[in-house]
Structure 1
Amino acid sequence: MMWPWLLQLLIPGASGKVAVVSLATNDYYAKGAFVALHSAGLHSGVDVDRLLLVPASSKISSDWLRRFERLNIKVVDVPDVLPSSVLQAAMEAERQRLQQQGILEILQPMPYGGAFAKVHAWDPALGYEKILLLDGDLLVKRRLRPLLRLEPVSAGKDLNDAFNYGVVVLKPDAVIHAGLVKLLMHASEDDLRRYNTRKSSEVGLCDQTLVAGYVAEKTSLHFFEEARTKDAGTPKLMSSEFNLVVSYRAKDRCEDPRERRQIDKARLVHFANHWLNFEALIENREAPGRVDSPRCYKAAFRYWHDIYHHGLQLSQLAETDPPVLPRYKAMEPQEDGMATPDDVKDMFLSFQDIKSNFSNSRGQDGSKDVEL
C-alpha cells in the first residue's frame, strides 16, 4: 500500500492544495468562465479545486452563481481593483490609437472592466499552494496534469509583454499580491515606463502589460515554449501546447500545415482578443467564431459549444443520469479552409449587437454594469 504522503507528492492536487481559478464580472463573461472551469474539471485528471473570483462591483445573476456552485466550483467574492487615473487614461489613449489605425474591433472591441481583480489569484488567503489562473476565453481540451506539474511562475511567451497573462501557473505570494494591487490602483507615469515592455510603436497597453512586467521583475519565469514533453515537439511562439493563442494572426496560422496540427495537439486553446462570440456559439455549434475566423479552429469552437451545454445540463440535474461526456473531435481534412463571406457577415452583425450592449453599459440580463 502506498503511503498517503507519497501519493500526494506524485499526484498534483491530491492534497487539495492546487486550484484552477478564473474570473467573471457579469453574466456574459460568466459563460466564458463557466466553460473554462468546467472543461478544466473534465480534464484535470486529479482532485483539483476550481474557483470563480467575483469582484465586488460585478453584476452576476444568482442563477449563474448557482450554476457554478452546482458544478462544485467555489464562488469567491474579492475586492475590486480599480485602475489609477494614469493607467485608465493610458488605456483609453490606446483605444483611440487602435481606432485611428482601424484595428480596434480586432484587438480590443470592448473596454476592459473588472478583470484587474485577477491579481487576487496571488493572495495566499485563498488557501492554495499552487494556482492555475485562466482567462475566461479559455478552453481546456486535453489532460491538465502536465501543466499542473510545472514550476511557478510558468506562462506562455507573448508578442509584446513579458509573458501572456491568459494561462499562468503561479504560487500565491503575499508580497507580490500586495504589490500588484498597489501597482494597478496607484500606477504612475514612472510605473508605466518601468513595467511596460512594449515598444513605443506597439499598441495594446492593458492590465496584462503592467502585471507581466512587474511579476517578471520580481520572480523567475518558466516559459511553456521551452517545456519539453513527449507530445509537445517544438512549438512556435504563442502556439504552445499549454496556451495556443487564437489571435489576429489566426489566418496565417491556418495556412501553415504545421501550425494547424498544433491546434489538435494543444491542451488549452486561448481565444484571445474576443475571438469567441459566446452568445452565437451557444446557439449555433457551427458558428465560425468572431468575425473572420478560419475554419481550422472549428473543431475547437464545436467543443466549446459541447462543453457549455454539458455543464449547463449538469447544473440543472436532480437525480437523473448525467449527460454524455463531450469529446473533442478533430476536423476532417475536407472541412479545412476559411469561413464563407456569409458566415463572416452573419457573425460580424451578431458580434456588433453584443458589443452594443456593453457600450450602453448593460449586461446580458439587462442589469447595469460598471465600466472602468
Structure 2
Amino acid sequence: MVPASSSSISRPSEKWLRRFETLGIRVVTVPEVIPSPAVLAAMEKDRAHLASQGILEVLQPIAYGGAFAKIHAWDRELFGSYEKVVLLDGDIVAKKSIRRLLTLEPLAASRDLMDAFNYGVLVLRPDAKIHAQLQQLLTSASAADVERYSTRKRGQAGICDQTLVAGYLAAHHGPVHFFEDLRKSSREHPQSWMLSTEFNLVVSYRSKERCEEPKEAKRVEAARLVHFANNWLHFDALARDRESPGRIDSPRCYRGAFRYWHDLYHHALMLADANTSEGETELPAVPKYSTASAEEGEASPERVQEVFLDFQSRSWARDSEEL
C-alpha cells in the first residue's frame, strides 16, 4: 500500500512498479491519512525524547507514521474479498511458511514491550466499521485520546501512532489473540510473552547479551518471520553488499538473516528480468536460508563506520534506479 501523497523518494519508481507487476505483486494506492494536531504533537514529543537520549538518528532518522497507511488494510472496498488478511511490515523477511497465521482468529499478533501488540505482523479481518473508526481516531484524536490509548508510560520512547492504534483496537475490538512463542517458559507463562520469536522475531529489540546466548541463534534459525524494525536495517547498503553489517550496531548472530534478505532481494530482481526477457530463460533457484558462523562476532568499529559513512553520503533514491 502506498499513500496517494507519497513523495517521489518514498513512492516506487515506474521501473519498480513494472517489476512488481511481473512478479505478480499488486501495488495499491490508498488515501492519505492526515494526523490530528494532538497525534503530531505526541509524535514530536517522542522524537524529542529520542534526541535527548542521543539515539534519534539510529531509531528514527525520519519522522515516522507507520500506522497511517496500514489502517487501509481494514478497507472492505480494497480487501473485502478476503476473509482474513495478514498485514506485514515492509521490513520483514519470511524464512518459512506462515500459512498457520491464517488459521488464527483475528485480531492476532505478538505482544510488544509496553503496547497491546506489535503492529508489524497482524492477522485481521477487513471491516468497514473498524476502517472508519481508525481513520477518525488518527485524524481527530485529542490529547486525551492519545493519553487513553497510547500504552507507553511517561518517559518511555515509543512510536505514538502505532501504540495509539494498538491500544484502541485492543480496547474496542479485542481480545487480541497473541502468537505463541518458541520459548517453553513463555508458553507456560502467557503474561510474560514478549514479541513471538517464531512469527515476529524483532532484531532491533535483541541485545548483544541476548545474542551471545547459544539459544538465540537457534531462535533466529527457527523463526518464520524476522522483523528488522525501527530503521535499524540499512536496506540500501545491504542490497549492494551482502557482507555489510545490515544494522550498523548489530551483533553478528543475525548475519544469516541479513544475508538471506539480500539473497531474496536479488532473486526477485532476477525473476523480474527473466519475466520481461524474450524467449525462454532459465529461472534462478530460490535462495535457501543458512545460519552464519557463530565465530564471526560483531562487525568491527572500522567496518561499522565505513558502512555508515557510505550510507550517509550516497543518494539512494538515484542509485536505486540502477539496480
Per the normalisation by structure 2, the TM-score is 0.88
Residue aligning to 2:180: 225
1:147 CA drift (Å): 2.2
Helix, strand or coil: the match of 2:20? helix
State the partner residue of 1:325: 286
* 2:5 partner amino acid: S
**Corresponding residue of 1:339:** 299
Residue 94 of structure 1 deviates from its aligned partner by 1.5
Matched, 1:273 2:234: no
- The amino acid across from 1:180 in the alignment is L
Tell me the CA shift for residue 192 of structure 1: 0.3
1:290, 1:348 within 8 Å by CA — same for their partners in 2?
Answer: no
Question: C-alpha root-mean-square deviation of aligned residues, in Å?
Answer: 2.0
Q: Tell me, yes or no, if structure 1 residue 63 matches structure 2 residue 15.
A: yes
Residue 310 (structure 2) aligns with: 350
1:364 is aligned to 2:312: no
1:244-284: per-residue Cα shift (whole Å, max 9, x none)? Answer: 01115432221222222111010000011112111111111
Q: CA contact under 8 A between 1:243 and 1:268: conserved in structure 2? A: yes
More strand by share: 1
Q: Is the 8 A contact 1:238 1:244 kept in 2?
A: yes
Residue 181 in structure 1 maps to residue 135 in structure 2: yes
Q: Is the 8 A contact 1:157 1:225 kept in 2?
A: no
Tell me, in whole angstroms, the C-alpha distance in 1 between the residues paired with 2:205 and 2:248: 10
**Offset, 1:233:** 4.5
**Matched residue of 1:75: which SS?**
coil
Are 1:250 and 2:250 an aligned pair?
A: no
Q: How much has 1:76 moved relative to structure 2?
A: 1.4
Contact 1:254 1:260 (C-alpha < 8 Å) held by counterparts: yes
For residues 91-119 of structure 1, the C-alpha deviation after alignment (integer angstroms, 9 at most, x for no partner) is: 11211121111121232222125751111
Residue 234 of structure 1 and its aligned partner are, at CA, apart by 4.9
Q: Distance in 2 between matches of 1:114 and 1:194?
A: 20
Q: Give the distance between the partners of 2:64 and 2:267, measured in 1 at CA.
A: 29
CA distance in 2, matches of 1:165, 1:342: 35
Which has the higher mean CA deviation after the structures are superposed, 151-160 or 231-240? 231-240
The percent of aligned pairs where both chains have the same amino acid is 57
> Deviation digits for residues 185-220 of structure 1, max 9, x if unmatched?
111111101111111121123321111011101221
Corresponding residue of 2:27:
75
- Structure 2 unaligned spans of 5+: 187-192
Shift of 1:310: 0.4
Query: What is the rounded CA distance, in whole Å, between the counterparts of 1:105 and 1:92 in structure 2?
Result: 14
Please say if residues 225 and 237 of structure 1, whose CA atoms lie closer than 8 Å, have aligned partners that are also in contact.
no
CA contact (8 A) 1:86 1:188 kept: yes
Q: Which runs of no fewer than 5 residues in structure 1 stay unpaired?
A: 1-52, 358-362, 367-372
Deviation of 1:79 (Å): 0.5
Match of 1:201 in 2: 155
Counting matched residue pairs gives 303
Question: Counterparts of 1:1-372 in structure 2 under 5 Å?
Answer: 53-58=1-6, 59-113=11-65, 116-125=68-77, 126=79, 127-218=81-172, 219-225=174-180, 233-234=184-185, 237-317=194-274, 318=277, 319-335=280-296, 337-353=297-313, 364-365=317-318
Q: Give the structure-1-normalised TM-score.
A: 0.77
**Cα distance in 2 between the residues matched to 1:350 and 1:251:** 24
SS at match of 2:93: strand
Amino acid aligned to 2:295: Q
Letter in 1 for 2:285: V
Counterpart secondary structure, 2:282: coil
